[in-house]
């Protein structure tokens, strides 16, 4: 059982494309931008982007593996930021209450998304497109009604600031990076080492067979939607605590960025294939391209072009690797 030792074995894994992509962008920016972006200050710049995106990209990727999609995360980020800012900033209530209510709202939106998806035959893209706009409307409407403004200040001190919205390691890296590593490790266990991960892959492979095999597909679907919307609310909340303010707009970039990270990370859009490590590397790759451009002499307007090309290359590469994995059969005595 030495599936991980040979080069071929590595290439057949879902994260193969993401690893090669990461190496490619490292080389690219190493040549054109020097190695400054690998020094602490440079590293912090893309690690911060990767961490905030990564906390959302992993549950979004899990939903994709299970054959669903959640784009309402784009509204959940400002929603999370605004909820904690209104409760703990505008009304001056305890920050812990603000955090609890924010996460509870995240869970509620996730339950609603999941429930609508399993009860109606409507594709989750449409359901969450609906909740994306609905939540945006709620955030804007309620914020202006309560505070008469679209921007709310929030001042947090003490342990809550240190845990959720501060800088660590000589003041450049956000504490979110630690959260990301912790959460990613927990997901790796959940998806690749516990039995529940197997259920998610089975659901993405064939939902009817999965249900017939006794997997509680509906409960798992709802759970995954709760993960994604709560994670997005969490990221918004932490940003509000970090920057001492919350805006009603912003957050939409998370939708496409999360999907790009997930796809670059080797997850199959139609479900049933992918890995957390792949999503992790996909997110770093995206963040390096996003930030690395500042370390080169290129006009930063070109960064979207690089991301677009990267995405297409990644998809083609991942297709090739998946075919290799499918057609793989061990040959007797061959090396």
Partner 1 sequence: MGQETGRTILSLQGINKSFGPIDVLHDISLEVKAGEVLCLLGDNGAGKSTVIRLLSGVHQPTSGQMVMDGKPVLFRNPREAADHGIATVHQFGGTFPLMSIGRSFFVGREPTRWFGPLKLYDRKKANEIAVKAVQNFGITRIDDGDRLVGGLSGGERQALAIARAVHFGARVLILDEPTAALGVKQATHVLRIVNEAKKRGLAVIFITHQVMHAMAVGDHFAVLIRGAVAADFRKGERTREQITDLMAGGETMADLEAQIETYMDSHDGHPPQAVSA
Give the ranges where 155-213 is alpha helix by DSSP (H).
159-164, 169-172, 176-188, 195-205, 207-212
Residues from 187 through 246 that contact partner 1 (CB under 8 A): 189, 193-195, 197-199, 201-202, 205-206, 209-215
What the block records as the tokens of 4 is: 């991980």
- Give the nearest distance from C-beta 276 to partner 1 in angstroms: 14
Residues from 77 through 106 that contact partner 1 (CB under 8 A): none
* Cβ distance to partner 1 smaller for residue 3 or 300: 3
Closest CA to 164 of 106, 242, 245: 242
Binding segment (CB under 8 A) for partner 1, from list 124-132, 143-151, 166-174, 327-335? 327-335
- Give the nearest distance from C-beta 89 to partner 1 in angstroms: 39
- Give the nearest distance from C-beta 183 to partner 1 in angstroms: 16
- Give the nearest distance from C-beta 113 to partner 1 in angstroms: 25
The site for partner 1, by CB under 8 A, has a size of 30
DSSP H or E run through 18: helix 16-33
Closest CA to 79 of 228, 223, 229, 258: 229
Per CB under 8 A, 328 contacts partner 1: yes
Per CB under 8 A, 1 contacts partner 1: yes
Task: Work out the angle between the directed axes of helices 217-243 and 176-188 (0-180°, nearest 10).
Answer: 170
Mask for 132-171, x = binds partner 1 (CB under 8 A): ----------------------------------------
Residues from 2 through 61 that contact partner 1 (CB under 8 A): 3
Rounded-to-10 torsion of CA 138, 141, 144, 145 = -100
Per CB under 8 A, 333 contacts partner 1: no
Per CB under 8 A, 269 contacts partner 1: no
Mask for 273-302, x = binds partner 1 (CB under 8 A): x-----------------------------
- DSSP labels, 249-267: S--THHHHHHHHHHHHTT-
* Cβ distance to partner 1 smaller for residue 304 or 319: 319
Whether 67 contacts 206, CB under 8 Å = no
- Residue 227 CA to residue 205 CA, distance in Å, equals 20
What the block records as the tokens of 48 is: 């911060």
Closest CA to 22 of 221, 301, 283: 283
Interacting residues with partner 1 (CB under 8 A):
1, 3, 189, 193-195, 197-199, 201-202, 205-206, 209-215, 268, 272-273, 322, 325-330
């Amino acid at each position: 059982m030495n599936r991980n030792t040979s080069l071929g074995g590595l290439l057949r894994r879902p994260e193969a494309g993401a690893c090669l992509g990461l190496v490619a962008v490292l080389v690219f920016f190493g040549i054109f931008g020097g190695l400054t972006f690998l020094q602490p200050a440079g590293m912090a710049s893309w690690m911060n982007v990767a961490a905030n995106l990564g906390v959302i990209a992993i549950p979004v990727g899990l939903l994709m593996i299970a054959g669903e999609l959640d784009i309402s995360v784009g509204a959940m980020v400002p929603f999370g930021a605004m909820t904690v800012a209104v409760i703990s900033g505008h009304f001056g209530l305890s920050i812990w209450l603000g955090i609890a209510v924010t996460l509870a709202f995240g869970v509620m939106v996730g339950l609603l998304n999941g429930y609508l998806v399993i009860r109606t035959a409507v594709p989750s893209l449409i359901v969450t497109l609906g909740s994306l706009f609905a939540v945006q409307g709620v955030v804007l409407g309620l914020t202006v009604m309560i505070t008469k403004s679209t921007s709310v200040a929030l001042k947090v001190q003490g342990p809550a600031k240190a845990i959720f919205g501060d800088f660590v390691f000589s003041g450049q890296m956000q504490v979110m990076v630690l959260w990301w590593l912790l959460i990613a490790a927990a997901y790796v266990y959940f998806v690749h080492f516990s039995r529940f991960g197997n259920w998610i892959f089975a659901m993405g492979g064939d939902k009817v067979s999965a249900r017939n095999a006794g997997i509680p597909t509906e409960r798992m679907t709802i759970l995954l939607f709760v993960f994604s919307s709560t994670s997005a609310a969490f990221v918004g909340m932490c940003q509000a605590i970090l920057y001492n303010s919350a805006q009603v707009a912003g957050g939409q970039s998370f939708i496409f960025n999360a999907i790009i990270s997930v796809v670059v990370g080797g997850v199959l859009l139609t479900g049933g294939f992918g890995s957390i490590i792949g999503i992790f590397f996909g997110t770093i790759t995206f963040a390096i391209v996003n930030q690395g451009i500042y370390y080169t002499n290129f006009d930063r307007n070109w960064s979207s072009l690089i991301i677009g090309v990267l995405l297409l290359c990644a998809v083609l590469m991942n297709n090739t690797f998946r075919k290799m994995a499918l057609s793989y059969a061990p040959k007797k005595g061959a090396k």
